[in-house]
Structure 1
């Protein structure tokens, strides 16, 4: 961090760096989170907590954004929030106008980041990426309101996930319109391995429960293994090989 921000060495350790680190730590309530925020924006230490973080926190609190979301934004998006502080009020209002009328909702912070981080041309490119799979602009905006992460994805990720569900799994693109949060899951690490297990179970008539694919994709890894893989190894031992191979492709690590 010092190598990338050597100007920090010019500030007094006792009078400036330590007190400002302390103020940020008091707000985030965690040393690790404090270091994360500073790594993302060393300006916090250079210019001070009061000049950088405090104005952001005040604007968000005044607009009703929930405290846990404010902490997350300061920790994980400190650079973006600080550099956008002078137009934060405008961003909050624009986000509300896009269908997010409750700033205290958890997804409001994610929607803000999407609005904040994209130019009009980037926004249009993402709408175009969805339109290639049959979504209208209204469809894309409806999905955005349900799960704002879907508009933070790259056009390449949108195309890859849509292509997998439509071309490999045989779903209509409207399936993802109903469940847009699936778009943000990792295709290689989660969607593909679990979907191939699901597909194999269904083809062998081993899906005894009516649990939906969305649940299968969103439950914790341990629950997925216990409910969908381990109970069927005796009847379909190849399941383990299918899952191991896909996870190995994604992570490069062998799955026990």
Structure 2
């Protein structure tokens, strides 16, 4: 930023504000980084793509970008795969995702899918002792997730830890059975 043309910085600030990220917001710096190497045409195209892919309104795009500005830097293919999985497999609504755009940051193969499979397995086999939201399962640190969602079920689901590790490597374990 120090070597950037002051006029370019002004344009970046204006762009971030138009996207709904106010100057005083904690995400403002990240919004500046997200738009730093994108021209206006690319930003408009990405916003349109987000609206179409996630079935978001203008207001929902603003909420999502304000909460996770780097969504503007994600590839179209990455966003498409996430939207398809979150809608079809998890059953999330567009507004839910817009208000929790962190789903778009985490690895689909290495974190989101494996944790989804564990939750489905535990819920369908009535093993969970409390109702876990998908958001909670995805956003908790790895050690916490394993401690709360894997370890308590060592006896009732002895292959769960192995299956989760395999899913994190991108392999769909045979022991995850959905009824």
How many aligned residue pairs are there? 170
Q: RMSD in angstroms over aligned alpha carbons? A: 2.2
Q: Deviations over 1:150-188 (max 9, x none)?
A: 222111111111111112222223321221121111111
2:144 counterpart (188, 209, 223): 223
2:34 counterpart (96, 114, 120): 114
> Post-superposition, which runs of at least 4 consecutive aligned residues in structure 1 deviate over 4 A?
83-86
Structure 1 residue 128 corresponds to structure 2 residue 51: no
- Could you tell me which runs of 5 or more consecutive residues in structure 1 were left unpaired when the two chains were aligned: 1-52, 57-81, 251-256
SS of structure 2 residue aligned to 1:162: helix
Task: Please state how far the C-alpha of 1:90 moved relative to its aligned partner.
Answer: 3.0
1:86-125 matched pairs, under 5 angstroms: 86-103=7-24, 105-125=25-45
Matches of 1:248 and 1:90, distance apart in 2: 42
1:179 counterpart (92, 100, 113): 100
Q: Deviations over 1:119-151 (max 9, x none)?
A: 233223323332133212332122111222222
> For residue 157 of structure 1, what is the aligned residue in structure 2?
78
Q: Which structure: larger Rg?
A: 1
> For residue 175 of structure 2, what is the aligned residue in structure 1?
none
Q: Describe the shift of the 1:154–1:85 C-alpha distance in structure 2 as closer, same or farther (beyond 3 A).
A: farther
Matches of 1:124 and 1:93, distance apart in 2: 14
Matches of 1:84 and 1:194, distance apart in 2: 44
Contact 1:125–1:155, Cα closer than 8 Å, also in 2: no
Q: Describe the shift of the 1:121–1:242 C-alpha distance in structure 2 as closer, same or farther (beyond 3 A).
A: farther
Structure 1 residue 170 corresponds to structure 2 residue 81: no
TM-score of the superposed pair, with normalisation by structure 2: 0.82
Matches of 1:84 and 1:199, distance apart in 2: 51
Task: Please state how far the C-alpha of 1:94 moved relative to its aligned partner.
Answer: 3.3
Matches of 2:90 and 2:16, distance apart in 1: 34
Q: Describe the shift of the 1:126–1:233 C-alpha distance in structure 2 as closer, same or farther (beyond 3 A).
A: farther
Matches of 1:156 and 1:193, distance apart in 2: 20
Contact 2:16–2:32, Cα closer than 8 Å, also in 1: yes
TM-score of the superposed pair, with normalisation by structure 1: 0.60
1:212 counterpart (126, 133, 145): 133
Q: Which has the higher helix share?
A: 1
Bigger relative contact order (CA 8 A; separation at least 6): 2
Matches of 1:206 and 1:123, distance apart in 2: 45
